[in-house]
Amino acid sequence: MNLRAPCRADAINVRLGGSLGTFLSIATLPRELIERPALLEGLLVHWFGRTARYALDTIDGSLNWLLEEYTSDLPPQNLNGWQLGRPHNLRWTTGIPSVPALEVVTLLSPSEQKLGAQLAKRLAIDDEAPAKGPFLLVYFSHNHHSIKPSSRAQDLVVHVTDHAIAVENRREKKWSWIFVNIDQIRLRAPSIWRTVTDGTLVIAEVTAPNATTAHRLVVIDPRTGSWIWHDDASQWRLNASELIIQHDSFTKAELHHLLSS
C-alpha cells in the first residue's frame, strides 16, 4: 500500500508481510504516519473500513489463539508418541459460534511493539521480517469461510470452520475457539476433516502443516484449551473407553493425563 503526502517527493510504503497459508499479515508503520494519528486513522478506515478497527483487548478469540501460538517460545514436547501443544487461554463468549469479521490492529505501545516484533519473525515476506515497530496487524478472517456444527455430546457442541474449531456449551449459553490449524499451504482448501467428542475431549482429524494429503490427529480438552497431537491419523476411532490409532490404544484417562502435563 502506497501513499504520497502533499509536498513530499517520496511515497510512504506500508508492506504487509504474510503468505497465502496464513490468516495474519503484518507491516511496519512509517514514522510519518505515527506522527500524524488522524491521517493514520483515516487511511486505515479508507483501506479496511471503520468497523475493522480493533484494540488487542477486544479482538476475536480465534485471533487471540493465533497470537498466542505464533509468539510462544515453548518448543513442543514428545510424550509417548504424542506432541504437547502450546497452552492457550480460552476466551468464552455468550451466544453461538460465528466467523469473525476482518480485524485490523495497530501495535503502538512498547509491549504491543514487542508482540509485533515476535509476529514479524513468523510472518516475514521472503524470509525478511519487517523492520522495528510500530506495526499494523491484519487478520483476514474471511479465510475461515463458514462455520457449522460437526459433532455433539450432551451439552457440548463442536463447530468447525475450514481451519478452526470452536465449542459451544448450550447449557451455559457460551462458546470459545479451542484450535486453529496454522501453516497450511493454502487456505482455499479445508484442513479440518472431521471431529468427534465425548463431552470431555474433542478429537479432530486435520491436514498436517505444509501438507495437502498427510493428516494428523489433534486431541483437545475443551475446558482448559490444552491440546496434543499425533502425526499418524490414517486409521483411528474413539470408543467408550479409549482412542485407537492404527494398532495403538490410549485410554481416556491416559489422554487426560497427557493434556494436564
Residues 115, 198: one domain? Answer: no
Alpha-carbon 10 to chain mean position: 36
Residues 113, 169: one domain? Answer: no
Q: Report the pLDDT value the prediction gives residue 250, as an integer from 0 to 100.
A: 95
Domain membership of residue 70 (yes or no) is no
Query: Does residue 40 sit in helix, strand or coil?
Result: helix
Does residue 179 contact residue 227 with C-beta atoms inside 8 Å? Answer: yes
Please list the residues that pair with 194 across neighbouring strands. 205
Residues contacting residue 244 through CB under 8 Å, at least 6 positions apart: 236, 237, 238, 250
Residues 92, 199: one domain? Answer: yes
Q: What pTM, to 2 d.p., does this model score?
A: 0.89
Residues 199, 160: one domain? Answer: yes
Query: Does residue 245 sit in helix, strand or coil?
Result: strand
Higher pLDDT: 177 or 210? It is 177
Q: Which of 3-17, 40-54, 201-215 has the highest mean pLDDT?
A: 40-54
Q: What CATH number does residue 174 fall under?
A: 2.40.128
> Amino acid letter at 245?
I
Please list the residues that pair with 169 across neighbouring strands. 156, 174
Give the residue numbers spanning the domain of 38. Answer: 2-60+100-141
Instruction: Report the mean per-residue pLDDT for the chain.
Output: 87
Residues 201, 116: one domain? Answer: no
Model confidence pLDDT, tens digit, residues 11-53: 666 666 555 557 898 888 888 888 889 988 998 998 899 899 9
Residue by residue, DSSP assigns 132-189 as SS-EEEEE-GGGG---EEEEEETTEEEEE-SSEEEEEETTTTEEEEEEE--S-S-SSS
Q: Edge to edge, what strands does the sheet with 174-180 contain?
A: 93-94, 174-180, 164-169, 156-160, 148-153
> What's phi and psi for 159, nearest 5 deg?
-115, 145
Could you count the other beta carbons within 10 Å of the beta carbon of residue 3? 16
Domain membership of residue 67 (yes or no) is no
Query: Does residue 80 sit in helix, strand or coil?
Result: coil
Q: Report the pLDDT value the prediction gives residue 86, as an integer from 0 to 100.
A: 87
CA distance 107 to 136: 6
Residues 155, 27: one domain? Answer: no
Burial, 71: exposed, middle or buried (Cβ in 10 Å; 0-12, 13-18, 19+)? middle
Nearest of 169, 177, 174 to residue 153 by alpha carbon? 169
Does residue 198 contact residue 238 with C-beta atoms inside 8 Å? Answer: yes
Domain membership of residue 18 (yes or no) is yes
Residue 2's pLDDT band (cuts 50, 70, 90): low
Instruction: Please identify which residue in the block is written with the cell numbers 484417562.
Output: 253
Q: Report the pLDDT value the prediction gives residue 212, as an integer from 0 to 100.
A: 64
How many domains, the chain? 2
